[in-house]
Amino acid sequence: MKTEVDFFKKNIRSWYKKNNRNFSWRKTNDPWKIYLIEVLSQQTQLDRANKYYKKFILEYPNPQKMAAASRKKILKLWTGLGYNNRAIRMHESSKILSNRTFDDLYPNFMELPGVGEYTNSALLSFAYGEKVITVDTNVKRILERYFKKDNINEFIERNQKDLLSYFNSRDFNQALMDLGSKICTNRNPKCDICPLEKKCMKYINEEIIKKEPFKNSNRQKRGQIIRILINTKKVHSSELAEQLNIKENTLIKLIRGLERDGFLNISKNKYIEIKSN
């Protein structure tokens, strides 16, 4: 086991030095910047998330700036990224962080809306230099394949100390993310050019991810509603239903869902607008 771990670490380190992706937030330990990119990159490819990160960090260099912004402005800047609930949770988190710092919350950031174990560990590793493995899909896939393990979470918990000994956790985690993105991909991994190939157990179980069709889905319609409303003050439900070419009672069901999620307000006479804050 020790031989396999040593080989793994040595070759990952060497590969990463030559092949790492050069993003500005990888050079910072500012927890706000790290929090932003982690939220933006959820369910989004890193290169695309980075383009949005540049816009958001320019507009909101600190949580106080974002907390003072309107919900409509946040959603407008978010347009095109999808999964708008993330924007709402990010905005709510900025309000908490405008009064309390990350240091106040350390080491448990899960008090922030939408922050789970992965984002919490990312903040601990990238902002605070803690010896933790950020267990995302790329990291799990590589370790599963290399060490031939089914219960990978248990394996990581048991071997985290050895895997990170004499290894900066930021570099370790980012190296695995880059390797998983470029080479050890979910489907059709490029084993012939992988730095771990010689000792890898090649325990490859391609994960089949079933995705709900986006076209004509409720998720698409919800996104269309948000896009219309961020560019106008308020719209009557009948007018909005006509624009979307759907029945008004179907629209109202979608609106009620968006209202519960904190996006919109609907008046008694059925005028709809983005919630102010």
Condensed to tens digits (0 to 9), the pLDDT of residues 210-253 reads 666 777 788 899 999 999 999 998 999 999 999 999 999 999 99
What average pLDDT does the segment 39-65 reach?
Answer: 96
In angstroms and rounded to an integer, the radius of gyration of the C-alpha atoms of the chain is 22
Residue 185, pLDDT above cutoff 80: yes
Are the beta carbons of 194 and 204 closer than 8 angstroms? Answer: no
What residues are labeled active site? 38
Q: Residue 176 contacts by C-beta under 8 Å, 6 or more apart in sequence? A: 12, 138, 139, 142, 143
Distances (CA, A) of 127 to 14, 22, 120, 250: 23, 17, 10, 45
Q: Quote the pLDDT of residue 205.
A: 80
Other CB atoms within 10 A of residue 6 CB: 12
- Does domain 218-274 bear CATH number 1.10.10.10? yes
Q: Quote the pLDDT of residue 212.
A: 66
- Does domain 30-126 bear CATH number 3.40.50.1100? no
Domain ranges of the chain: 2-19+132-193, 30-126, 218-274
| CA–CA distance, 260 with 254 (Å, rounded to integer) | 10
Instruction: Confirm whether 30-126 and 218-274 share one CATH topology.
Output: no
- Tell me the CATH class for 2-19+132-193: mainly alpha
| CA–CA distance, 37 with 138 (Å, rounded to integer) | 17
Residue 272, pLDDT above cutoff 80: yes
> pLDDT tens for residues 165-183?
999 999 999 999 999 999 9
At position 253, the amino acid (one-letter code) is K
Span of 14-18, 175-179, 267-271 with lowest mean pLDDT: 267-271
User: Which tokens hold the place of 171?
Assistant: 């570099």
Question: Which phi and psi (to 5°) does residue 214 adopt?
Answer: -80, -40
Residue 88 binned pLDDT confidence (cut-offs 50, 70, 90): very high
| CA–CA distance, 199 with 214 (Å, rounded to integer) | 41
Reported pTM:
0.90
